[in-house]
Amino acid sequence: MVNCMATYVYRARKKTGCYTFGFLSASSSVGAAMTLKEKGLLTVWVFRCLSPGLPDRLKYRGIRKKQLYLFCKQLSAMLEAGVGLEQSLLALSGRAFHKSFKLAVTSILAMLRRGSSLSQALGKYPHLYPELMVSMVQAGEMSGALPEVLEDLAGYYERENDFTGKVKSVLIYPAFLLVATTLLIIAMVNYVMPKYISAFSQLNIDPPLPTLMVIQAGNFFISSWFWMPVVAIILYFFFKKFYVTEAGCRLIAGIPLAGRVFKYSAISRYCWVAGMLLDRGVPILAALEVAGRVPGNALAGAACARVTRGIMAGHKMTRMMYLDGFFPPLLVQMLKIGEETGNLGGALLKAAHFYRGEGEFLLKNILTSIEPLLILIMGGIIGLLATAMLLPMVNLINSI
């Protein structure tokens, strides 16, 4: 039986006490450690460099924005300190990151040794590294300002992580209320209501229509509850596929308040990426091409592509935005001032900050309105159940 050889990255200590790292081929991590021992090296750690193929992709899991923030922050700090890219990534692979993140970093190290750029290596793992990060790193490599771009990315992911934490904290109480009320309804329909109606049926009292409706609804849920997770999963994947299409984005954009949040978020991303790249010295066409790939929805991406094509044809950026119709008039006015003063990058960054704040404000209002809405809905359902239980009592009193 022939053992399959794989590439391993290692960190080891020499007899002199100095540390070294490198790559070697072995059939297993134990075999790699034995090979290092034969060379007179004391193994510190060994990781297998996985290829980005489909079988190995199944070993990876998604990571949180906090991990991306730490990765970008620490890599930027080491590059600013003059540490080489390979040495920096090697140091990060030994940190307390997610296991799948460590495996990806070791694979990226192997690809860098084979001549790939950092952005090309990151692009092999779209399930771990978002398109925004890959595009920004590519722009940083083009402009020679990779540490600064990574620092900007760290700030972006830090804000995203903080905002996600705020959203979760706001939704905790409504989620608890929804679960508690659902359990109460299930208990009343499945256990209390049947015994209650059975007692009245012995008195030859016909249950009223609302009571019959509640009983039939409870029987339906009891007999077909197992279909609910299946339907929920199908709807989730359908929405996930429909969400990324231009028609789906257009539908979401038409929803009051939520559509504005959706639009402002895309505009904020586009302006932030474009403004940051322009401030780093990237040419405007290259900056807008990268920024057009990261708005987060197909509708905004198509509008950004139309703006880029118009600039290539010789038109001004604000002129194309004004004619397109997707971009708000206020944004056009803000960027027009930047064009006239020769500070388009700064105007884009200010616009990004403004629309990020507007989107967060609207989203906060939407989330705070969910709680009273849930209370009203659950109160109405409980009121219906109470009515269904009290009506037979009213009929009993009237029959006496």
Looking at the structure, do residues 292 and 379 belong to the same domain, yes or no?
yes
Looking at the structure, do residues 285 and 347 belong to the same domain, yes or no?
yes
Tokens of 286: 């290259």
Which residue, 112, 115, 119, is CA-closest to 140? 119
Looking at the structure, do residues 97 and 216 belong to the same domain, yes or no?
no
Give the confidence band of 62 by pLDDT, cuts at 50, 70, 90.
very low
Residue at 56 is within a domain = no
Looking at the structure, do residues 23 and 88 belong to the same domain, yes or no?
no
Residue at 59 is within a domain = no
Please say whether the beta carbons of 69 and 161 come within 8 A: yes
Residue at 225 is within a domain = yes
Length of the chain: 400
Residue at 364 is within a domain = yes
| pLDDT tens digits, one per residue of 118-165 | 888 888 777 778 877 887 888 788 777 788 888 888 888 888 787 777
Can you give the pLDDT at residue 5? 67
Q: Tally the C-alpha atoms within 13 A of residue 271's C-alpha that lie toward its C-beta.
A: 27
Looking at the structure, do residues 201 and 225 belong to the same domain, yes or no?
yes
Can you give the pLDDT at residue 63? 57
**Total tally of structural domains belonging to the chain:** 3
Looking at the structure, do residues 77 and 188 belong to the same domain, yes or no?
no
Q: Rounded CA gap, 176 and 24, in Å?
A: 53
Which residue, 365, 361, 359, 363, is CA-closest to 295? 359
Looking at the structure, do residues 41 and 89 belong to the same domain, yes or no?
no
Average pLDDT over residues 171-189: 75
Q: Rounded CA gap, 14 and 10, in Å?
A: 13
Looking at the structure, do residues 149 and 178 belong to the same domain, yes or no?
no
Residue at 55 is within a domain = no
Containing structural domain, residue 15:
6-48
For the residues of 136-161, what is the DSSP string, one character each?
Answer: HHHHHHHHT-HHHHHHHHHHHHHHHH
**E strand or H helix at 42, and its extent?**
strand 42-48
Please say whether the beta carbons of 205 and 395 come within 8 A: yes
Can you give the pLDDT at residue 97? 59
Q: Across the chain, what does the average pLDDT equal?
A: 77
Residue at 33 is within a domain = yes
Which residues on neighbouring strands pair with residue 42, listed in sequence order? 13
Residue at 200 is within a domain = yes
Average pLDDT over residues 82-92: 82
Tell which of 120, 136, 157 closes a domain: 157
Tell which of 157, 178, 209 closes a domain: 157
Average pLDDT over residues 95-123: 76
Q: Look at 183-192, 282-291, 363-372 and tell me which has the smallest mean pLDDT.
A: 183-192
Distance of CA 348 to the CA centre of its chain: 24
Looking at the structure, do residues 129 and 223 belong to the same domain, yes or no?
no
Please say whether the beta carbons of 197 and 203 come within 8 A: no
Looking at the structure, do residues 234 and 333 belong to the same domain, yes or no?
yes
Looking at the structure, do residues 151 and 236 belong to the same domain, yes or no?
no
Looking at the structure, do residues 238 and 94 belong to the same domain, yes or no?
no
Q: Look at 38-47, 85-94, 374-383, 388-397 and tell me which has the smallest mean pLDDT.
A: 388-397
Dihedral (CA of 185, 191, 194, 198) sign: negative
Residue at 186 is within a domain = yes
Q: Which residues does 97 contact at the CB level (< 8 Å), separation at least 6?
A: 67, 70, 71, 105
Can you give the pLDDT at residue 59? 44
